[in-house]
Amino acid sequence: MSKYIEREYSVIVEPDFRLVDEDTKNRYCEEIKLDIERHVDGLGSVYVSVVENATCSFCGAKWETYDEPNYPEGFPVCCKKAQDEFNKEQDDE
Ligand SMILES: [Zn+2]
């Protein structure tokens, strides 16, 4: 048996968002995509990819919740402020 290495090549374009506000980032990316399609030869496909990362509005940590029977469903891990808010929301319901 011989070893075959398959390589996948792509070109990554990172937009300069310094002068772009949050609400128009997607449109800005779509415009770059159209510019690339209009001006660059030899393209397979061009697409805009968006990855959403949930973070805590209090401490900025990645949003995670406990997945254990000792905690209510959705109980945040990161900080006391987030946990206090969760408890308050539970009390309000
Ligand atoms: Zn937090």
How many whole angstroms from 78 Cα to the centroid of ligand 1?
4
CA of 72 to the centre of ligand 1 (A): 17
> How much distance in Å is there from the Cα of 20 to the middle of ligand 1?
27
Q: How far apart are the CA of 74 and the centre of ligand 1, in A?
A: 13
83 near 76, Cβ under 8 Å?
A: yes
pTM assigned to the model: 0.62
Taking residues 72-87, report their average pLDDT.
Answer: 96
Alpha-carbon span 37 to 31, nearest angstrom: 10
What is the whole-number distance in angstroms between the Cα of residue 42 and the centre of ligand 1? 46
pLDDT per residue as tens digits for the range 30-63: 999 999 999 999 999 999 999 999 999 999 999 9
Q: Are 53 and 62 in contact (CB under 8 A)?
A: yes
pLDDT at 91: 87
25 pLDDT exceeds 90? yes
